[in-house]
């Protein structure tokens, strides 16, 4: 608390500056510098994160995290919306990998199939119907790029400061959070019968919720058809 | 730092970064579809945190909540794409600034600054080839005319 965490603050500020440089502002000047600064910010932030397990776990996690974050930045800052959508797909694959890394096998597959397979393709469909010639003039300017980047800096700084204070070794809030042993994990969340347990929970504890979700999907389907069909009358 | 705590810490940090990036994209981009992609990115950041917390508390609730997030995102995508298609039919572009007449009464209008031309949009430099054979009698503007690169 007494000494400021210099490197995380520096990383967040540098990331915000890089984001402002990389966002479309009507000019291509400074995008290379922005990409370089973003790489530096990500490296700084990664150097401050705690290591996870042995070197193999570490490298898998940090590669997946880097793929996710870099694709997310690219998806937001590219000017051609088709490239944005494709980078977004890669971001989804990165999050699917992270889900798999933490043991959520079904979610990894569901994210890949539903998000990257269905939703993203629908996006690309509309995009290519509406704007087949690539980037338009309004893709080359953004609203208030500097204020937007500053907002992102504030949000990320606040969140990561809270996270860092909660789990810092000397702050030691986490014993009160309760930590599972590996035997408990292997008996419940990391069980080999993952999908069976997940389905059991889904149709046991969350039966009403899944019925509501089904009704919601039906309502959305009907609503989309009504919205689209209104023009024809 | 124990393994589970380090894992949770890192997942929460990555989720926070995804949320922030999506927020910046949603606030600053003007293309309706890119705005929507950014909103989905914020959902992904929250999903990462939920899965990590679910593992930390040794409970399937986090993963199931993410499953519901995916279902709601699919609904959202269907309705939003229908609305975007409608807006596109009315205006002919995917520009959010085109609908600024829907703003509140005493809000100022968004002024679009004229865009400077970028190098990427200039016509490509064509190679100069060594002339061979008899020079045909073609007017200059017909040689330089390229309908579409």
Alpha-carbon gap, residue B47 to B55, rounded angstroms? 12
Do A32 and A84 have their domain in common?
yes
Please report which residue ranges of A23-115 form alpha helices under DSSP H: 31-48, 55-77, 81-101, 105-110
Report the pLDDT value the prediction gives residue A209, as an integer from 0 to 100.
93
Same structural domain, A138 and A38: yes
The whole-angstrom separation of Cα B91 and Cα B53 is 44
Assess if residue A37 is contained within a domain.
yes
Q: Does B110 reside within a domain?
A: no
Most B CBs within 10 A among A26, A32, A120, A126, hence the mutation to make, goes to A126
What angle, 0 to 180 degrees and rounded to 10, lies between the N-to-C axes of helices A81-101 and A120-130? 180
Asked if A189 and A134 sit in the same domain, the reply is no
Domain that holds residue B40: 3-95
Separation CA B19–CA B134 (nearest Å): 66
- Whether residue A38 is found in the same domain as residue A79: yes
Q: Which of B23, B90, B49 is nearest to A152 (CA)?
A: B23
Chain B CB within 8 Å of residue A18 CB: no
* CATH number of the domain within which B47 lies: 1.10.287.3510
A16 and A127 in a single domain? The answer is yes
Contact indicator for B20, B46 with CB cutoff of 8 Å: no
Q: How many residues does chain B have?
A: 149
Q: Do B58 and A184 touch (CB under 8 A)?
A: yes
Tell me which residue of A216, A195, A203 sits closest to A109, measured CA to CA: A195
Provide the domain limits for residue A65: 6-180
| Cβ neighbours of residue A37 closer than 8 Å, sequence gap 6 or more | A14, A15, A17, A18, A21
d(Cα B12, Cα A164) in Å, to the nearest integer? 10
Per-residue pLDDT at A172: 57
Q: How far apart are CA A216 and CA A212, in angstroms?
A: 6
Helices (H), chain A: 6-22, 31-48, 55-77, 81-101, 105-110, 120-130, 145-167, 174-177, 182-187, 194-202, 207-229
Task: Examine the domain organization and report whether A85 and A68 are in the same domain.
Answer: yes
In terms of domains, do A44 and A140 share one? yes
Q: Are residues A66 and A163 in the same domain?
A: yes
CATH of the domain at A93: 1.20.120
User: Do A153 and A226 lie in a common domain?
Assistant: no
Choose the final residue of a domain: A137, A153, A180.
Answer: A180
Sole residue written with tokens 């949000």? A155
Q: Which candidate from B41, B71, B89 shows the least CB-CB separation from A217?
A: B71
Pair A173, A185 in one domain: no
Q: Which of residues 88-127 of A touch B (CB under 8 A)?
A: 88, 91-92, 95, 98-99, 102-104, 106-107, 110-111, 114-115, 118-119, 122-123, 126-127
Measured over the CA atoms of residue B61, residue B66, residue B69 and residue B70, the dihedral's sign is negative
Q: What is the pLDDT of residue B49?
A: 95
CB contacts under 8 A, A 164-203 vs B, are 164, 167, 169, 174, 177-180, 184-185, 188-190, 197-198, 201-202
What pLDDT score was predicted for residue B147?
66
- Terminal alpha carbon distance of chain B: 58
CA distance B48 to A208: 24
Q: Count structural domains, chain A.
A: 2
| CB contact (8 A) between residue A220 and residue B75 | yes
Q: Whole-angstrom Cα distance, residue A228 to residue A17?
A: 41
How much of chain A exceeds pLDDT 90, in percent? 54
Whether the CB-CB separation of A152 and A20 falls below 8 Å is answered with no
Q: Residue B5 in contact with residue A174, Cβ under 8 Å?
A: yes
In a domain, B115, yes or no: no
Query: Which band of pLDDT confidence, cut at 50, 70 and 90, is reported for residue A140?
Result: confident
Q: What is the mean pLDDT of residues A141-145?
A: 83
CB atoms within 10 A of CB A91: 29
Within a domain: A1: no
Q: Do A96 and A190 share a structural domain?
A: no
Give B105-113 contacts, CB < 8 A, sequence gap 24+.
B110/A143, B112/A141, B113/A26, B113/A141
B residues 60..89 contacting A (CB < 8 A): 60-61, 63-64, 66-68, 70-79, 81-86, 88-89
A193 and A156 in one domain?
Answer: no
| Residue B64 falls inside a structural domain | yes
**Residues A114-126: tens digit of each pLDDT:** 999 889 998 998 8
ipTM score for this prediction: 0.91
Residue B23, CA atoms < 13 Å, CB-side half-sphere: 19
Per-range mean pLDDT, top range of A167-171, A199-203, B143-147 = A199-203
Per-residue pLDDT, A2: 54
Give the chain A residue nearest B91 (alpha carbons): A130
What are the backbone angles phi and psi of residue A9, rounded to the nearest 5°?
A: -65, -45
pLDDT at position B119:
47
Flag whether A125 is in a domain: yes
Where among A139, A160, A180 does a domain terminate? A180
pLDDT tens for the 149 residues of chain B, in order = 788 888 999 999 999 999 999 999 999 998 899 999 999 999 999 999 999 999 988 889 999 999 999 999 999 999 999 999 888 888 888 888 888 777 788 877 776 666 555 545 555 567 788 878 887 788 887 777 766 55
pLDDT per residue over B81-111, tens digit each? Answer: 999 988 888 888 888 888 877 778 887 777 6
How many domains does chain B contain in total?
1
- The answer to whether position A145 is within a domain reads yes
Range of lowest pLDDT (A41-45, A88-92, A177-181, B82-86): A177-181
Q: Mutate which of A44, A129, A152, A204 to test chain B, going by most B C-beta atoms within 10 A?
A: A152
Residue A161 resides in a domain: yes
Q: Is residue B106 part of a domain?
A: no
Please say if the pLDDT value at position A49 is more than 80: yes
Asked if residue A122 belongs to a domain, the reply is: yes
Contact at CB, A106 and B57, closer than 8 angstroms = no
Residue of B27, B37, B59 with shortest CB distance to A151: B27
**Strand segments (E) across B20-119:** none
Q: For residue B16, is it within any domain?
A: yes
What is the pLDDT of chain A when averaged over all its residues? 87
């Amino acid at each position: 608390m007494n000494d400021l965490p210099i490197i995380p603050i520096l990383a967040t500020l540098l990331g915000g500056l890089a984001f402002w440089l990389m966002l479309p502002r009507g000019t291509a000047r400074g995008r290379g510098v922005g990409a370089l600064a973003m790489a530096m910010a990500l490296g700084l932030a990664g150097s401050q994160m705690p290591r996870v397990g042995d070197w193999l776990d570490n490298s898998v996690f940090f590669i997946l995290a880097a793929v996710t974050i870099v694709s997310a930045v690219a998806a937001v800052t590219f000017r051609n919306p088709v490239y944005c959508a494709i980078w977004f797909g890669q971001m989804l694959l990165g999050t699917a990998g992270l889900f798999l890394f933490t043991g959520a096998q079904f979610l990894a597959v569901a994210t890949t199939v539903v998000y990257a397979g269905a939703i993203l393709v629908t996006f690309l469909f509309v995009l290519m119907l509406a704007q087949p010639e690539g980037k338009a003039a309004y893709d080359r300017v953004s609203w208030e790029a500097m204020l937007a980047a500053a907002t992102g800096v504030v949000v990320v700084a606040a969140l990561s400061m809270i996270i860092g204070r909660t789990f810092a070794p000397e702050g030691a809030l986490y014993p009160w959070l309760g930590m599972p042993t590996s035997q408990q994990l292997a008996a419940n969340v990391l069980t080999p019968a993952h999908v069976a347990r997940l389905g059991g929970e889904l149709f046991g504890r969350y039966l009403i919720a899944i019925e509501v979700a089904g009704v919601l999907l039906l309502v959305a389907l009907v609503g989309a058809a009504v919205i689209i069909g209104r023009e024809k009358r | 730092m124990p393994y589970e705590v380090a894992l949770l810490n890192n997942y929460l940090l990555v989720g926070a970064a995804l949320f922030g990036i999506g927020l910046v994209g949603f606030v600053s981009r003007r293309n309706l579809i890119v705005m929507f992609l950014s909103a989905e990115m914020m959902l992904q950041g929250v999903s990462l945190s939920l899965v990590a917390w679910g593992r930390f508390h040794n409970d399937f609730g986090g993963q199931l909540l993410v499953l519901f997030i995916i279902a709601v995102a699919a609904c959202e995508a269907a309705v939003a794409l229908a609305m975007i298609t409608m807006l596109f039919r009315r205006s002919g572009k995917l520009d959010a600034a085109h609908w600024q007449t829907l703003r509140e009464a005493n809000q100022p209008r968004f002024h679009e600054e004229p865009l400077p031309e970028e190098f990427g949009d200039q016509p490509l430099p064509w190679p100069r080839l060594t002339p061979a054979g008899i020079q045909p009698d073609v007017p200059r503007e017909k040689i330089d005319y390229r309908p579409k690169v």
